[in-house]
Amino acid sequence: MAYANHRNQINVSGLPNQELSDLRAVNPLPPPTFVPGPPLGVIYVNPYFGRVVPQLVPVIPPLRFALNPAVVVRMEVERSMSLLQLMENEGLVPSPEEEIKRQYVIDNLKQIVMEWIKRIAYQRHLPRNYIRAASATILTYGSYGLGVHNSESDIDGLCVGPYFATMAEDFFIVLRNMLASRPEVSDIHCVKDAKVPLMRFKFDGISVDLPYAQLNVISVPDNVDILNPFFLSNIDETSWKSLSGVRANRSILQLVPNLEIFQSMLRCVKLWAKRRGVYGNLLGFLGGVHLAILAAFVCQRHPNASLGALISIFFKTFAFWHWPTPVVLQDGITQAVLPAEMRYLMPIQLPCSPYEYCHSNITQSTFSRIRREFLRGNALTMDLLRPDFDWNTLFVPFPYSKKYTQFVKICLLASNQGELADWVGWVKSRFRCLLVKLEEVEGFCDPNPTEFVDVDVAEPNIVLYWGLQPGRSEFVDIDSVEEDFMKSITNGYQAPPGKMALSIVQASQLPKSAAEFDGGGRTKGTKACWRIPDFNQQGAPVYSKHLPRDLVGYLATSGNVEYYNVGN
């Protein structure tokens, strides 16, 4: 809270020592003019003075006042510490016991692949010195490789083997059988038709995704430098794709100025993306590698910023980014922008490959959702020094059942859990086709990443609910959409396909568990704030009609935003 006393000084309530700043000394501008304030209940958020409820509202930009730099630093440290505490409370930081368990899994997998590669070398009747020298290893990437995993995270590991170990026979048959024979391994599945073929299984209860890359060498050491061009010569396209995740991780870790700050920032950004429903590449949103590069991009440009400041800068940077201008990390190499990759709505360049971009399934609908969430994040974090600032407002779950009145219900079924896992993985890899088709007939579709189970259906199933454009009274021929998509997903599927059913449901028909995903509307303890406005079809901002006309004009010209409940 801030107010002026009879000496034209400002008292900033909530700041240490109640420091005073003289308005005449710190603000040479002429006195502001005032108009009647907003109606009762509408709160004006002054980004410099904190949250106030004034009788008069200025129609010029808010007055800036000088704060003691030491106070600012201390408040930024406090904000960063409170964010770290929030992450710990959310379970985003694994315990030492969990870290030991994951390391145990990795060490055991490395031993298994070493036994495997020796067996393959012997079966190939290679010379004895080749057999002795033969080696393979496991390289981690993804959240575990970046050091931002939590207790629920999978392990993304890459099996890297020498030239004589093939994927079709040696990896998917011999290694698969060796893993299946281990008592620690369960639920093993081979996903051969994916863009990056892999084995998926659980080791001691921890889920592991394990693709394979074949290098043109006799031995792959445990400390192989995967960024060295020597190891990348004459490899096949599948191996190149499998290696891209590891190479991107290694490059990012080398390019960020402060690894610990980057890891904390990325944990926060991933939590935000998941809570707000904009996480998941298969559904057209941002994947882990996208968020890692965006976070590293901000860290590179602000190497001395605190964690809290980096989060604020992150949202400010990408809320107003001029897409499709690519996001490119600086690594000292002059990088060209390929016109072919500009088809992506949000192009993000892989740091290890100057001429490659992160694969993206982003469509017009998901692009709009991501941008709105960036804008919301910016509005909520633009003033970290506000006395009543609360990080929890940033992570309020997106209220699907309140935002949308109609949903596409997608139900995927199979005869058993094993077949269902393969079927769901296959259909998800082609979800972009369904999303584009729904956009064609409906104009907008918001895929909720959360998966549910219909307990009233006897067969094993997975159910998803995708929000449809508000204001549309009827949906156009859902049956034809289902027929077209079913044809596309059954084409090329090696096993007997499962079932899929599309239907339209109202928000009132959502299962209780789906409604609970919203967090019960406005979460207890959240604050009201100002929002970046919605945009009409012509791209013009649409502000709340209950605001005074002069205030609306000021907001439109100053970049300030419309009042709303942060739960939305």
pLDDT tens-place string over residues 336-373: 555 545 568 999 999 987 678 998 999 999 999 999 99
Neighbour-count burial for 519-533, b at 16+ CB within 10 Å, e otherwise: beebbeebbbbbbbb
Question: Tokens standing for 495?
Answer: 């096993």
Q: Which of 143, 264, 306, 401 is catalytic?
A: 143
User: Residue 49 — very low, low, confident or very high, per pLDDT cuts 50/70/90?
Assistant: very low
pLDDT tens-place string over residues 131-164: 999 999 999 999 999 999 988 889 999 999 999 9
**Neighbouring residues of 152: CB distance < 8 A, sequence distance ≥ 6:** 91
Is the previous residue joined to 32 through a cis bond, with omega within 30 degrees of 0?
no
Q: Which of 46-50, 240-244, 306-310, 498-502 has the least mean pLDDT?
A: 46-50
Q: Is 270 a catalytic residue?
A: yes
Q: Is 563 a catalytic residue?
A: no
Q: Which of 48, 154, 454, 544 is catalytic?
A: 154
User: Residue 531 — very low, low, confident or very high, per pLDDT cuts 50/70/90?
Assistant: very low
CB atoms within 10 A of CB 538: 5
What pLDDT was estimated at residue 232?
86
- The mean predicted confidence, pLDDT, of the chain is 80
Residue 507 DSSP code: G
Q: Is 154 a catalytic residue?
A: yes
Amino acid (one-letter) located at 340: A
What pLDDT was estimated at residue 477?
80
Reduce the DSSP state of residue 275 to 3 states and report it: helix
Q: Which of 44, 279, 400, 465 is catalytic?
A: 279
What pLDDT was estimated at residue 51?
38
Alpha-carbon distance values, 367 to 324, 360, 364, 445, 452 (Å) = 11, 11, 5, 11, 24
Q: Which of 141, 156, 365, 518 is catalytic?
A: 156
Which has more confidence, 164 or 31? Answer: 164
Q: Is 204 a catalytic residue?
A: no
What pLDDT was estimated at residue 493?
83
Q: Which of 21, 141, 270, 465 is catalytic?
A: 270
Q: Is 192 a catalytic residue?
A: no
Q: Is 479 a catalytic residue?
A: no
| Contacts within 8 Å (CB) and 24+ apart, 507-516 | 507/401, 507/402, 507/404, 507/405, 507/406, 507/407, 510/401, 510/407, 510/465, 511/452, 511/454, 513/452, 514/400, 514/401, 514/450, 514/452, 514/465, 515/401
User: Residue 329 — very low, low, confident or very high, per pLDDT cuts 50/70/90?
Assistant: very high
What pLDDT was estimated at residue 57?
33
Mean pLDDT of 168-174: 96
Q: Which of 170, 209, 446, 518 is catalytic?
A: 209
**Neighbouring residues of 523: CB distance < 8 A, sequence distance ≥ 6:** 392, 396, 567
Of 88, 100, 142, the C-alpha closest to 271 is 88
Cβ contact 112:137 at 8 Å: no
